[in-house]
Amino acid sequence: MKYERALIAAAIIVFILVLSYAVALGAMGAALPPPDLRELAKNYLKLTINPWMRNLTVMSPEAVTAIVWDFRGLDTFFETAVLYLAIIGTVAIYRGVYTSRKTVAEDEEKGGMSPIAKSVTKITLPMVLAVAIAIALHGHLTPGGGFQGGSTAAVILLLVLVVFSLHFSMHKGITKGSMLALRSTGLLGIAVTSVLVLILGLLVGCQAFIFQNQPKAYAPAGLPATLDGMLISGTLILFNIFECLAVAAGLTLTFILVLTHEEEIRSAMKGDKHE
């Protein structure tokens, strides 16, 4: 055992030295970080909002969101699929476990943490919710977006789950089923938004693409970049809203599963019937 560990440590030291030497020789370019950007990055920066090149621009001042949901939209689509496959795997592991609703209504106020923690949570909940919505809705204007906003919204639901106890949250409707429904709504919204311009183009009778946002050359269909003077960047705001919904519900779903009482999981693993 000692011999194995020494071997692993020696191999890792060699790994570090080889990596450092490769970078010193210029494996990542002559200078790190590079003094100037690559042409691809310059093109992204020039095209992210450019009303003089309407056929190529995204009309979003936030270059990262423009890349995530427009320039490389399919990448993000499959990345979202990975996130939800992992959550589906978690749900599959907890199959047969039903968090019970047997607790009567009068003792639900006794569960959870102290009144101080509950009061502080009640005060901070609307603030965190406002921040989450602002992050998600301004994803095409400022740093942030659907995933970040959704994670922040999941913090609220996690606080409710931990501070007010799982049974109270179940009584208020934060259940496995409702979170699965919300998550599926978000996923469906993302899927519909990704083909929205394609459907519009088919209806109008012109060419259009999957994940198209603004009108392109030979494909004049597209969503408006501004709505009543506000910049909405076409599909980006829809993607951010639906991703926020899906991420918040999906993360809360895993929290509910992880916080399930140990006895219920053990009895489900033994094969007991639960109603």
Residues that bind another protein (CB under 8 A): 4-5, 8-9, 12-13, 15-16, 19-20, 23-24, 28, 30-38, 40-42, 44-46, 48-52, 61-64, 66-68, 72, 75-76, 79-80, 82-83, 85-87, 89-90, 93-94, 142-143, 145, 147, 231, 254, 257-258, 265-266, 269
Cα–Cα distance for residue pair 119/125, rounded to 1 Å: 10
Q: How many Cα atoms occupy the beta-carbon half-sphere of 221 within 13 Å?
A: 19
Residue whose CB is less far from another protein, 200 or 268: 268
**CA-to-CA distance for 213 and 208, rounded, in angstroms?**
10
Minimum distance, C-beta of residue 81 to another protein, in the bound complex (Å):
10
Taking the complex as a whole, how short is the minimal distance between the CB of residue 75 and another protein, in angstroms?
A: 6
* Shorter beta-carbon distance to another protein: residue 35 or 271: 35
Smallest separation, CB 85 to another protein (Å) = 8
The answer to whether 206 touches 269, Cβ cutoff 8 Å, is: no
Exposure string over 101-127, b if 16+ CB within 10 A, otherwise e: eebeeeebeeebeeeeebeebeeeeee
Give the residue with the Cβ less far from another protein, 26 or 126.
26
Q: Tell me the closest approach of the beta carbon of residue 95 to another protein, in angstroms.
A: 11
Backbone angles phi, psi at 151, to 5 degrees: -65, -40
